[in-house]
Amino acid sequence: MKLVLASSSPRRLELLGRLGVTPDRIISPDIDEAPRKGELPRDYVLRMAQEKAAAVEREDQEILVAGDTTVAVGRRILGQAGDAAEQRKSMQLISGRRHHVMSAVCVIAADGTARTKLSDSIVKFKRFEAHEIEAYIATGEGQGKAGGYAIQGTAEAFVTWMSGSYSGIMGLPLYETRNLLISAGYPLG
C-alpha cells in the first residue's frame, strides 16, 4: 500500500514522520485557496483539505493525505502572511487575544472513500510590544504561515495559554491523521 502526501509543507512531512510514515509520493495541489464571501473559518479549512485531496490524482492502491490549517479571530480568517505588512497586521490582531487554529485533514482510502477530520485548538499570546512584533518579523519564521507565526519556533515563547493539539497548530493534527490512516487501511503500529 502506497501513501501520497498532497502538500508542499515541510511541517506536514515532518509530522507524518512522527507517525513513522514516509510518503511514497509528495505532490503539491494547485487550487484556489481564497475564502468564499461570508465563509466561516471552520467551513473554509474543511473545504480546503477536501479540495486539496481531490486535486491530486491517485493511482491504484494509493492512500492520499491532504491538510490545511487556518488561524481565526472570531469569524475572520487570517491567511498566510505574504509579506511583513500582512504579518504585522495579523500579529497586532492576535496580540493578547485568544484565537483559534483550525487544522483539517482529509484522507482518501484506496477504494476512493474520503474522510475528513477537524482539530480546533485555541492559542493565546501575550500582549505584544511593537518591538517584539518587528523582531519576530525579522526572524522570517512567520512568512507564509497562517496567522503570521510558526508555533514551533520562537513564537512559542509568547504563548501564555493553549488548548488543543500542538501538532494541529503546527499544521497536521496527528491524532486525527493517525485514526484516518488506520480507518483507510494504512498499516500503522
> pLDDT band for position 171 (50/70/90)?
very high
What is residue 186's predicted lDDT score, i.e. its pLDDT? 95
Average pLDDT, the chain: 95
Q: Please pick, among 32, 68, 83, 111, the residue that the annotation labels catalytic.
A: 68
Q: Each residue of 67-80: pLDDT tens digit? A: 999 999 999 999 88
Residue percentage of the chain with pLDDT more than 70 = 99
- Residue 120, C-alpha cell as written in the block: 480546533
What is residue 105's predicted lDDT score, i.e. its pLDDT? 98
The angle formed by the CA atoms of residues 178, 32 and 181, to the nearest 5 degrees, is: 10
Beta-sheet strands, E only, within the chain? 2-6, 25-26, 62-73, 76-78, 98-108, 114-125, 159-163
What is residue 53's predicted lDDT score, i.e. its pLDDT? 97
Q: How far is the first Cα of the chain from the last one, in angstroms, to the nearest whole number?
A: 15
111 as an active site residue: the answer is no
Q: Is pLDDT above 90 for 189?
A: no
Average pLDDT score over residue span 130-154: 94
Average pLDDT score over residue span 11-29: 95
What is residue 188's predicted lDDT score, i.e. its pLDDT? 87
Whether residue 68 contacts residue 48, with contact meaning beta carbons closer than 8 Å, is answered with yes
Average pLDDT score over residue span 83-108: 96
